[in-house]
Structure 1
Amino acid sequence: MNVMLTRPALQVEKLQDMVVKSGNNPLFFPTLKLHPIDIKLEKNHYDVIIFISANAVEYGLKILKNISYQQVLAVGSATAKKLSENNIIINDFPKNKASSEALLELDSVTQLNDKTILIFRGKGGRETLKQGLIKQGNQVEYVEVYERVCCDISHLHCQSLDKFLLSREGVISITSIDNMKSLIKIVNQINHIDKLKNYLLVVLSERIKIYVNSIEFDKVLVTPNTSNNGIISVLMNLNTLDKPVKYS
């Protein structure tokens, strides 16, 4: 089965290999590219540092080296792994689910009060984490270290889309709402987005599912977690099913 991989080109290699090992055929269709943002902080010390994604780690390391801090928190296991690979000690992170809500529920986070907190993230995004921390009496700042930009259309996009549409069966992997918006923008310039509405979307969260349902994509499955393994587990289940899948 064809699996359309829509992550940025530099981040898709590991997932590609896992898709092949699962017995499926990966097709590259990058929808976003990441650009670093140059920024200087006004302060050089914070009580707590929080990284909201592995990308935030990748683009925030240079800034992190120039500030002091007491604790480092990560939004999930993939972000924590990226920190560990760069020899940064992580004090805590949600073990089962990567999300702002799960982070706010950690005992170590509910106990934070009257702290200065710096959140590393990409440009834009949700305010859930910041608002939750402020309610606990903390001072919270963002440092936005990268931005997501829609990819320009390339021959690869045209080729992958043509191959994908040749089969009536296929899966599209969607990792964020921005990812989905860029997919729609690119596909509409090549073909017509309605042609993809008959295919299954595999998404990383209920929040993404709600969005894609709102734009009339009805065949959607949510991964059990936000890692590559979560995506592969859904593909493996699909490969072994002998009855129609129920979508909600």
Structure 2
Amino acid sequence: MNNILILRPQAQAAELQQLLAQRAEQLQVPVTSQSASMLRISEYDDPNYSLANILAEQWHGAMMVSVNAAHYFAKQARAWAPQAAMPRCRWFAVGPVSAKAISDVVQRPVCCPWRQHNSDALLALPELQQVEGQRWLIIRGHGGRELFADTLRARGAEVTYLEVYQRQSQPPTASQLSEWQQGIDTIMVTSAEQLGAFLAAAPNDSKDWLAECIWVVASARLQQLLPSGLSRRVVVADSAASFAMVDAWQQAIQLTKEV
């Protein structure tokens, strides 16, 4: 529980590492942490839509799926439609971190689930139950998940995607993997894409190490994505927010002490 690998880009992991250090000091537990991203994120120019036209249309509701979506959407809006106003519609996010990023871009309130921060909790919000005949905009990465859009369509909404970034695999080096196997005993993951890329890059001789690690994951869906041999020591956080991941890590410590 003392040597933690966070599968997140450094910029997004910095807050989590800071909170981990503070909580560890409170608990008087020695901790080291490092972050690594299994994905390289870059801008994507959606060939299907003009961003200026998207901004000029009327929407009943809109969401950005992540902080990356907010970042690249804002970048493209500044470059390609600097005079255009942001859609004056209801904006939604999965959790408070992305909600703040979106609000900074659109300068409007952004709604997100209060307790659990995932697509299922978002789709359970009362505001999203009666959407028949409405037009919705989803800003996401290239080839993202379909759950949110499919559910809104099933409820009678018309959904348009605008894809503003793309993911490319960035596997760890052999020396990184060797170093992690020697020292890492806890792995934190908040993204299905990061988890998939990490597991795909892990060599066969790392399976025993991975099975011995404590896994702190951001949702039950991520837990289900873990291979059966790796799912014996898993703690599920309430969300991907840094404070929730730290709370789950503390819970893992308590469970380990009780065993």
1:51 aligns with 2:64: yes
Which residue of structure 2 aligns with residue 199 of structure 1?
A: 213
CA contact (8 A) 2:115 2:238 kept: no
Residue 94, structure 1, aligned to residue 113, structure 2: yes
Distance across 2 between alignment mates of 1:62 and 1:164? 35
The residue correspondences of 1:45-194 to structure 2 (distance < 5 A) are: 45-47=57-59, 48-63=61-76, 66=84, 68-86=87-105, 88-154=107-173, 158-159=175-176, 161-167=177-183, 170-188=185-203, 192-194=206-208
2:27 paired residue number: none
Partners of 2:142 and 2:163 within 8 A in 1? yes
Deviations 1:84-133 (A, max 9, x none): 33462125221212222222221222132211111011222322211111
Q: Is the 8 A contact 1:46 1:118 kept in 2?
A: no
Structure 1 position 201, deviation (Å) = 1.0
Counterpart code for 1:89: R
Whole-Å separation in 1 of the counterparts to 2:225 and 2:211: 14
Go from structure 1 to structure 2 and tell me whether the alpha carbon gap of 1:91 and 1:183 turns closer, same or farther (over 3 Å shift): closer
Displacement, 1:147? 1.6
1:51–1:120 contact (8 Å) kept in structure 2: yes
Cα contact 2:7–2:35 (8 A) shared by 1: yes
- CA contact under 8 A between 2:131 and 2:157: conserved in structure 1? yes
Give the whole-Å Cα distance in 2 for the aligned partners of 1:33 and 1:215.
Answer: 28
Matched, 1:243 2:250: no
Structure 1 range deviating more: 101-110 or 203-212? 101-110
Shift of 1:143: 1.1
Contact persistence 2:95–2:113 (CA under 8 A)? yes
Instruction: Write the letter of the residue equivalent to 2:239.
Output: N
TM-score by length of 1: 0.84
What's the TM-score once normalised by structure 2's chain length? 0.81
For the residues of structure 1 that align with 2:224 and 2:3, how far apart are their CA atoms? Answer: 24
Aligned residues of 2:141 and 2:166 also touching (Cα < 8 A)? yes
Residue 87 and residue 177 in structure 1: after superposition, are their counterparts in 2 closer, same or farther (change >3 A)?
closer
The 2-side partners of 1:240 and 1:46 are apart by: 51
Task: In structure 2, list runs of 5 or more residues that go unmatched.
Answer: 25-30
Q: Aligned letter for 1:32?
A: L
Percent of residue pairs bearing the same amino acid type: 24
**Counterpart amino acid of 1:223?**
A
CA distance in 1, matches of 2:150, 2:171: 35
